[in-house]
Every structure is written in C-alpha cells, then in structure tokens.
Amino acid sequence: MLQDNYTQDLPLFKGVTVKYFRENEENGNLEVFIEMPVKEHRCPHCGHTTTYIKDYRLQTVKDLTVAGKPLIVTVRKRRYICKECNSTFTEDNPYIKRYCHFPQRFYLEAIKETSDLQSFSAIARRMGASVTSIIRWFDNINYPKAELPSCIAIDEFKGNAGGEKFQCNLADPVKHKIIDILPNRDSEDLYKHFLEYPYEKRAKVKKVVMDLSTLFRSVAKKIFPEAKIIADKFHVIRVVTNSLENVRKRIQKEFHDTKRKWFKRSRQLLLKPEYKLTDEDKIELNRMLISSRELEKAWLLKELFYEIFKEKERKAAKHQLRDWLLLAAELSVPEFQHCITTFTNWSTEIANIVDENVSNGFIEGSNNKIKVLKRISFGFQNFRRSRNRILNLI
C-alpha cells in the first residue's frame, strides 16, 4: 500500500479524495479507491442547498494501464437528498462523468489510438473495451467542413463507402495535410459541395493540382475563379512511360522465349532517364533498341518528353510540348496516340507544371495509407465514419 486517505495532486485524481492506492499482489492490478469530499450541494430540481446524504453507490471502472499494470478504480458515489423537494441526486465527480462506464481519459486515449493505422477491434482488444464502445465514442467526432487553402490537390480513391464506389480526397499539397473527404465524384455533388463556400473564399484558391481528369478540371474552372490548374507531373510522365511499356510488350510478343525474357527483365533500362544510365546500361539498352525501330522511336519520345520539364518558364515549356506533339504525330507509334490526344487537351495545365513546385505526390501517398486503413477495417461501409478515420489519420 502506498498511502492512505490523501487528496491526490496528480491531474488524474484532481479534486477527489484517494482513500487508498495499492497493488493487488494476487493479480498485479493497481487498485485505487476514490470519493468526493462532502460538501454542500445545490438541488438540481428546486435550487435549494443540501448536505443530507441519502446513500452510497460503488462503481468500479477500468482505467488505462500504468507501467504495464491494469489500473482499477473504485469510485464511491454519494447520493444527496433535498429536504425541500425530497428528490435525490448523485454528486458530480471530475474523474468520471455521470452515466459513464469509463473515465474521460480512457475515451480520449481510445480516440487517439484511431489516428494510427489499426482496426477498431485491435484498439478494443488492447484497451480491454468492447468494439461497439470504441466505435460509439469515435462516432461522436465531428469534423466540420474544411477551410479552403490557397493550393488544393484533388484526387479520387476507391473507398466503396456509403454505397458509392469512388470518394474524393482533397489535400493541401503545401502543408501535406488531407483537408476533406467527399462522398463521391459526381459532378453535381462536387459543385454543390464547393458552392456552399462563399465566392470570396473560393476566389482565394490560387492553384489546383490534379491528375488528367476532365471532370475535376471542369469543376475547378467553374468553382475556383482565380485558380491556375496544374497537371500532376508524375501522372503526366506515367502516361508516357505506360505508352513506352505498351510498345515494349507489343514488340516482345514476336520474339522467341529467351529474347522475350531478356526484354522483360531489362525493361527498367527503357524507363530510366538517359542521364541516369551507366555505360554498361547504355550498351544493354542499345542492344534492345536496335531490335525494333518502333521501340527506338518510343524511347526517343520518352526522353524528349523529359526535356519539357527542364524549361524554366511556362511559355517555353508550352513550345516544347507543341514540338513534341508534332514529332509524336510524325513518328506515329500507335501506343502514343493516347498521349497525343490527352496532352493536346491538357497542354496549358502541363506547361503550368514548370512554374509551380507542387504535385499530387502527397495525396497519392495518402491514398495508399487510406488503402491500408480500408484493408485493416475490412472495408469502409459507413462514409461518415471512414471520413472521420481518414481525417484523424494524417
């Protein structure tokens, strides 16, 4: 036994009297007995004061573990009786709120745990509470609609929440923060969501980064009157490298087994920017390129595409892109037709990349985290809950 009958100065037992604090030698639990000091109470029914005690009730609650030992707290709750109106009421206790089964800090700890990538059941198991309790506490969180930052990144992810296949992820790519999750990617709903912000707030958004989604672009153009739309660099480059990959796959089909396997194994050499290749790599790559004229053209288009982003300003980048599109049309590799169509349609937003140092890198990383969260949660059924979890996460 540590000490008897003293008022604790520790924040946990502030304002209550600790009758004893001991370690149970049989089960290793730390056991605390607390009660409130007797004082005059105002009757909640009629407002008269009283000091008459009717009876006591004992409540035993489980607190967080302390140094690996379960902390079991027994609270003696006093019921007062009012002589004026004859009603009874229980005294307040700062350690545990009325009608609660756990102390306040237990709830807070459970909520804190949800910011890690783990399931509700894992939290419940570790804390020794039921899953439904943890979820019930968690559902009390209410994240209001986000403030709009001056730079927004928007992307979608397959959450399958609330009966909708896709959800939208809005992030601040400068501060690296998810700002909101929207229930679907329906254009009507997106307009509705953003139009709830007054014009002045929407006009403060100066940049919007996105992958090559015409839906997001048309929404952003109407909703954010002052924003410059910037294509996500990695996404744009991926369109080119995918085309190159598709050429390789087509070419190698014609090859005999050994050569096809060699091609597949060495595909990274095709994708690597030329300046990163070692002398050995270059010899190997040349051997690949001489086996197909089409592949050589495709590789050249990929390399020239990187050049666009070496430009320092938008106008020059736009010129470079135009030249690239002309060359691509002339070389007419079928797999690059998709690049030509898309990039012609997105030339302004692609050229904007060189002026701005923002990308969707952060939002794509957060989408991966969301994917993990979804997997450990066995899916997102409830949209509101999954939005809370995602916003709590990062």
Cβ proximity to Zn ion, 83 vs 175, nearer residue? 83
Stretch that binds Zn ion, among 11-19, 41-49, 166-174, 365-373 (CB under 5 A): 41-49
Contact call for residue 52 and Zn ion (CB under 5 A): no
| Amino acid occupying residue 228 | K
Asked if 116 is part of the footprint of Zn ion (rule: CB under 5 A), the reply reads no
Rounded CA-CA distance 67/25 in Å is 15
Q: Name the phi and psi angles at 376, rounded to 5.
A: -70, -20
Cα 166–Cα 167–Cα 170 angle in degrees, nearest 5: 145
Residue 83 contacts Zn ion per CB under 5 A: no
Contacting range for Zn ion; rule: CB under 5 A; set: 37-45, 52-60, 254-262, 271-279: 37-45
Task: State which residue, 84 or 254, has the beta carbon closest to Zn ion.
Answer: 84
* Contact residue for Zn ion among 38, 58, 85, 372 (CB under 5 A): 85
Cα–chain center distance at 133:
23
Nearer Cβ to Zn ion (81/270): 81
Q: Which is nearer to Zn ion, 84 or 147 (CB)?
A: 84
Q: Binding Zn ion by CB under 5 A: which of 39, 42, 45, 319?
A: 45
Element (DSSP H or E) covering residue 124: helix 120-127
Query: Cβ 78 to Zn ion, closest distance in Å?
Result: 16
Quick one: 45 or 293, whose CB is closer to Zn ion? 45
Secondary structure letter of residue 157 according to DSSP: E
Distance of closest approach, residue 49 Cβ to Zn ion, in angstroms = 9
Is 54 one of the binding residues for Zn ion (CB under 5 A)?
A: no
Give whichever of 43 and 295 is closer to Zn ion, judged by the CB atom: 43
- CA 250 → CA 108, 244, 255, 333, distances in Å? 57, 10, 10, 11
**How distant, in Å, are the alpha carbons of 310, 331, 366 from that of 231?**
16, 25, 18
Q: Return the percent helix, strand and coil in the chain, to nearest 5.
A: 45, 20, 35
Looking at 43, 182, 270, 333, which residue binds Zn ion (CB under 5 A)?
43
84 touches Zn ion (CB under 5 A):
yes
The two tokens of residue 122 are 């894992």
Helices 293-308 and 314-331 pack at an angle, to 10 degrees, of: 170
Rounded Cα distance between 295 and 292, Å, is 5
Work out how close the CB of 93 gets to Zn ion at its nearest, in angstroms, rounded to a whole number: 20
Site for Zn ion in 63-82 (CB under 5 A): 82
The answer to the question of residue 46 lying near Zn ion (CB under 5 A) is: yes
- Token pair recorded at residue 254: 């014609």
Contact residues toward Zn ion (CB under 5 A) are 43, 45-46, 82, 84-85
